[in-house]
Amino acid sequence: MRERIFRRPSARDLLGRVMGGVPGKVNDQLLLRLMNNGVLHWVDGGFSDVVEAVEQLPENEFILLPSNFRVPIEDSNYGIKSLAHLAKIDSKYVLRDIADNAPEKLTRTFAEENKLWPAVLINRAMEHQDVETPPIGFYWMGVNGQVRSTTWLRAVTGAEMEVMKKVGDFEGGVVDKRAYGRNLRVRVNSRTGNETYSFTLSRLPIHARGDLVQHSDWMNLGHNSSDPDASYRGIEHDQREQPPILFSAPTIFAFYEAMGFVGKQPGGKQFRINPFPIPTDNTMIDFVDGLRLRTLILDDNGRVSATSLNKTEIDGIIGARTIMRGYRSCWHHWQKKDLSFLYRPD
């Protein structure tokens, strides 16, 4: 069901799914009772301990995290827009892993000469990260100096939307009748279904097989979506001549829709490069669902209570697992295999 994936449920909602409803408030008495009954497990430690606990969590049981894992909304917005909590996939350290003669920043020439794929850059970037200070996503710099960024959960949700669309549970797609240049107009329903966003995907990596330019054109991918997640502007934007382009879940979904649309057009051109990660298998999506549906965090507002994790808190733990298990065991970048496991409407 869409609400399970797109809406942040309350702690009562999550506990009620297993317990058949939760009378009263989620307070200290309820939490202690659940711990004593073996339903709720306290995990105190670092990100690596949380990853291990979520991976081993038995069905119909929950995890409770201490409040030091909490990320306030203002810190969340700043961390994304300022890039402070994102991995730079085109840093000089990453480029030097690929070639000894790497430039200080990623250029078209270097990308084309080395036939770079986004997956290679993200994989190398994650090898430079610390599991106890994990990035919540990643970013890269376009040729014009403008940043493109996204986070792990936005990438997951964008892929889920695409699978939902295929079974008729989500709406959106390409508006144009044919591809004109490398821009496409798209329309995407809001995640609540109450609004529709029409926007343009620009500088799409549409090329013929073997065209080396495909290895550099993806760097300049853009959109002008007005969906709230993609268009939010914080004060940290004032520090940049060009504000970052954040790829929200709806814009990533639109990219996949455009990918399928172009692939059906005559002429042999199509998207051959996808910069957005897709969960590799059931193990990865089980882990993400463990965070969304069976992990709580202590409130620190002066009373003993608990809430579900917000997107940034989930992103951090996904980042930690990606570092621990290796990027390629957690993510892939193509849709040719069966991805039905991404959507479980039961």
Q: What is the pLDDT of residues 229-268, one digit of tens each?
A: 877 655 555 555 667 899 999 999 999 999 999 988 888 7
Axis-axis angle for helices 73-81, 311-325 (nearest 10): 50
* pLDDT per residue as tens digits for the range 285-323: 999 999 999 999 998 765 678 999 999 999 999 999 999
pLDDT at residue 224 in the model: 93
Q: Which of 89-93, 112-116, 224-228, 282-286 shows the lowest mean pLDDT across its residues?
A: 224-228
Q: Where are any strands of DSSP class E within 160-310?
A: 172-174, 184-189, 196-202, 206-207, 222-223, 245-246, 270-271, 278-279, 295-298, 306-308
| Predicted local confidence at residue 335, as pLDDT | 61
Give the per-residue pLDDT at 76.
Answer: 75
Distances (CA, A) of 296 to 181, 291, 309: 47, 8, 6
Q: Region 319-329: what's the mean pLDDT?
A: 98
Residue 90 confidence (pLDDT): 97
pLDDT at position 299 is 86
Please give the structure tokens belonging to residue 252. Answer: 């990533």
Q: Which helix (H) or strand (E) holds 160?
A: helix 152-166
Tokens at residue 192, please? 């609540």
**Residue 220 confidence (pLDDT) above 60:** yes
Q: What does the pLDDT read at residue 7?
A: 77
Choose the weakest-confidence range: 5-19, 49-63, 109-123.
Answer: 5-19
Q: What percent of the chain has pLDDT over 70?
A: 92
What is the rounded average pLDDT of the residues 146-168?
94
CA-based nearest residue to 323, from 46, 64, 116: 46
**Phi, psi dihedrals of residue 43, rounded to the nearest 5°:** -120, 110
Contact between 251 and 158 (Cβ < 8 Å): yes
For the chain, give every domain's residue range: 2-72+280-342, 86-278
Helix (H, G, I), strand (E, B) or coil at 206: strand
Average pLDDT, the chain: 89
Neighbours of 199 (CB within 10 A): 21
Q: State mean pLDDT over 108-124.
A: 96
> 121-131: per-residue pLDDT in tens?
999 999 999 99
pLDDT one-digit tens code per residue, 173-187: 999 988 777 899 999
Beta-strand relationship, 196-202 and 184-189:
antiparallel
Residue 115: beta bridge partners? none
Identify the band that residue 91 occupies on the pLDDT scale cut at 50, 70 and 90: very high
CB-CB contact of 150 with 89 (8 Å): no
Q: Which helix (H) or strand (E) holds 346?
A: none
Instruction: Tell me the average pLDDT across 78-97.
Output: 88
Model pLDDT, residue 334: 77
DSSP string, 20-79: T---S--BHHHHHHHHHTTSEEE--S-HHHHHHHHHTPPTT-EEEE-GGG---HHHHHHH
pLDDT number for residue 252: 97
> pLDDT value at position 4?
46
Residue 216: name the closest of 137, 123, 126, 114 by CA. Answer: 114
State how far the alpha carbon of 182 is from the alpha carbons of 61, 134, 213, 219, 264, in Å: 48, 35, 13, 13, 15
